């Protein structure tokens, strides 16, 4: 039994929310729906009712931090967290949750890690790779890093899930999960399944490493995007270089 299953959420509710202020919202919603998990985009204080867990998605951490304060959502997150709601921060979300941020004041400070923004460089230094994470999957997990931060160290009560070279890429406390990469931008459901179980929520479907029905435009079914916009986006995505093809050379 995993640590996530040993520490299920004590919050009332069997739903996971995705903070819907900026960033990769629809991509997370899509992955959770593939696991038959009830999900909700979260914009206002009332949207937190009934949540067992909340995902703080990747995006732009400075923008997200300002929006959290402007709308008073930061205080709601802390309050619900204290009541037992689990949290998962991806990329920018990990920065928001960190207790220490190099060169700036911390934001929510709900997990004892130190992070460095733009740890790999600029947007041009984004990359993809894969790694073995036995606790989550029996096969390598695809990783997508986009102007990613680095976790430099973890404090007491925080366990490292994935360490690469001189940095930590994924870590967790009993109540918080952080990843500096974007699982929602890959066909892997491993991290979303893991977080759901951390929240005490059962997932549906086969426990396979890769969802063969996923593709780079899957999230669009949840977004307000017209057929013309969808067609306009496809040539751009197909033109991007991808080092890992997940069995399909046209996927990015």
| Residue 182 annotated as catalytic | yes
Residue range(s) defining the domain that contains residue 183: 3-225
| Residue 184 annotated as catalytic | yes
Whether residue 248 is contained in a domain is answered as no
On the question of pLDDT at 245 being above 50, the answer is no
Give the residue from 128, 165, 122 showing the smallest Cα distance to 145.
128
pLDDT band at residue 59 using 50, 70 and 90 as cut-offs: confident
Q: How many CA atoms lie within 13 A of 129 on its CB side?
A: 14
Which position among 91, 107, 116, 172 bears the catalytic label?
Answer: 91
Whether residue 239 is contained in a domain is answered as no
pLDDT of residue 75: 97
Q: What is the DSSP letter of 101?
A: E
Whether residue 233 is contained in a domain is answered as no
Instruction: Decide: pTM greater than 0.85.
Output: no
| Residue 199 annotated as catalytic | no
If one counts the domains in the chain, the total is 1
Whether residue 250 is contained in a domain is answered as no
Cβ atoms of 170 and 195 within 8 Å: the answer is: no
Whether residue 247 is contained in a domain is answered as no
On the question of pLDDT at 231 being above 90, the answer is no
Task: Give dist(CA 252, CA 240) in Å, integer.
Answer: 7
Task: Give dist(CA 48, CA 100) in Å, integer.
Answer: 26
pLDDT of residue 244: 41
Whether residue 243 is contained in a domain is answered as no
Whether residue 166 is contained in a domain is answered as yes
CA distance to 50, 123, 226, per residue, from 41 (Å): 13, 27, 20
Give the residue from 57, 58, 38, 27 showing the smallest Cα distance to 218.
27
pLDDT band at residue 240 using 50, 70 and 90 as cut-offs: very low
Which position among 31, 182, 192, 199 bears the catalytic label?
Answer: 182
On the question of pLDDT at 36 being above 90, the answer is yes
Cβ atoms of 119 and 91 within 8 Å: the answer is: no
Whether residue 50 is contained in a domain is answered as yes
CB atoms within 10 A of CB 113: 27
Q: Please report, for the domain that includes residue 51, its CATH number.
A: 3.40.50.880
Give the residue from 191, 228, 234 showing the smallest Cα distance to 210.
191
CA angle 209, 213, 215 (to 5 degrees): 95
């Amino acid at each position: 039994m995993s640590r996530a299953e040993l520490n299920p959420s004590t919050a009332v509710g069997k739903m996971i929310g995705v903070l819907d202020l900026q960033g990769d919202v629809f991509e997370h919603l899509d992955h959770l729906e593939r696991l038959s998990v009830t999900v909700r985009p979260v914009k206002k204080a009332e949207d937190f009712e009934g949540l067992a867990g909340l995902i703080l998605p990747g995006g732009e951490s400075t923008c997200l931090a300002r929006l959290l304060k402007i709308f008073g959502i930061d205080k709601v997150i802390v309050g619900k967290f204290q009541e037992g709601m689990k949290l998962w921060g991806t990329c920018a979300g990990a920065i928001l949750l960190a207790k220490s941020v190099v060169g700036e004041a911390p934001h929510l400070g709900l997990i004892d890690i130190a992070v460095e923004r733009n740890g790999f460089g600029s947007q041009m230094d984004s990359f993809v790779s894969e790694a073995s994470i036995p606790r989550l999957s029996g096969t390598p997990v695809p990783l997508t890093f986009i102007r990613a931060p680095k976790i430099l160290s973890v404090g007491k009560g925080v366990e490292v899930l994935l360490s690469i070279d001189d940095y930590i890429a994924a870590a967790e406390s009993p109540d918080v999960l952080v990843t500096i990469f974007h699982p929602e931008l890959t066909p892997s459901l491993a991290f979303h399944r893991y977080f759901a179980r951390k929240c005490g929520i059962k997932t549906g479907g086969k426990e396979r490493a890769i969802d063969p029905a996923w593709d780079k435009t899957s999230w669009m079914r949840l977004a307000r995007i017209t057929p013309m916009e969808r067609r306009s986006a496809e040539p751009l995505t197909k033109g991007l270089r991808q080092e890992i093809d997940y069995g399909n050379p046209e996927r990015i």
